[in-house]
């Protein structure tokens, strides 16, 4: 069965613009694809493991072909379980608010946990990296309060979409659509942009 996994990086609940657009997308998606399973992963729910010194040492052991210590083996099981939940889905919906010109740290933590050799990427000393997430499709909702395309540097910079889109492509996901509501606060008429983003989400969901 096809599965869509919604990964949300906003902690703002009912006040979140990215989550509101995601709900519009998912409502339209369920109507158009009633046979597809939909899973929601709130990255703030405490399920993400830390990726600290022991996990880093385990990653380098994988690179070097070394054996794990017992502590490394235990933490690597958590890493594998996180990746496997992610990898089970065929379709991804990411709701990604802008934080300080980039992505929320919880999303970066998710990326650091799952981006492992033999899972998200392969590596060859001569050819470099190769993404392993083949056959996946992603839709990304980008929101920001102040930054917007075409605004001057006083309104911020975009390391949000450039970083996250780059990670998806590096991981092997090249079929990517996006919905933008940027800016959604520092503008005279945020409602026009909100309605446009909602409409884009509904239309994209029907054929996603």
Angle, helices 53-64 vs 70-87, to 10°: value is 80
Question: What's the structural domain count of the chain?
Answer: 1
Q: How far apart are CA 188 and CA 197, in angstroms?
A: 16
Give the domain range for residue 157: 3-207
Look at residue 197 and tell me whether its pLDDT is greater than 90: yes
19-50, pLDDT tens digit by residue? 999 999 999 999 999 999 999 999 999 999 99
Nearest CA among 56, 134, 74, 143 for reference residue 103? 143
Look at residue 1 and tell me whether its pLDDT is greater than 90: no
Contact by Cβ (8 Å): 59, 117 = yes
Look at residue 115 and tell me whether its pLDDT is greater than 90: yes
Question: What is the domain-level CATH number for residue 141?
Answer: 3.40.50.360
140-191, pLDDT tens digit by residue? 999 999 999 989 999 999 999 999 999 999 999 999 999 999 988 888 889 9
Q: How far apart are CA 22 and CA 201, in angstroms?
A: 8
């Amino acid at each position: 069965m096809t599965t869509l996994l919604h990964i949300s990086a906003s902690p703002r609940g009912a006040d979140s613009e990215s989550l509101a657009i995601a709900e519009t997308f998912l409502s339209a998606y369920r109507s158009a694809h009633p046979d597809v399973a939909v899973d929601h992963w709130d990255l703030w729910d405490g399920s993400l493991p830390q990726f600290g010194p022991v996990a880093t040492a385990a990653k380098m052991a994988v690179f070097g072909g070394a054996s794990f210590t017992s502590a490394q083996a235990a933490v690597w099981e958590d890493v594998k379980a996180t990746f496997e939940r992610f990898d089970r889905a065929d379709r991804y919906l990411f709701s990604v608010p802008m934080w300080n010109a980039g992505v929320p740290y919880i999303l970066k933590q998710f990326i650091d946990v799952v981006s492992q050799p033999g899972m998200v990427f392969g590596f060859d000393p001569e050819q470099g990296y190769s993404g392993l997430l083949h056959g996946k499709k992603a839709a990304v909702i980008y929101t920001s309060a102040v930054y917007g395309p075409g605004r001057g540097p006083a309104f911020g910079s975009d390391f949000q979409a450039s970083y996250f889109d780059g990670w998806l492509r590096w991981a092997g996901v090249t079929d990517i659509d996006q919905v933008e509501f940027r800016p959604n606060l520092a503008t005279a008429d945020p409602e026009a942009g909100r309605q446009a983003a909602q409409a884009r989400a509904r239309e994209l969901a029907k054929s996603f």
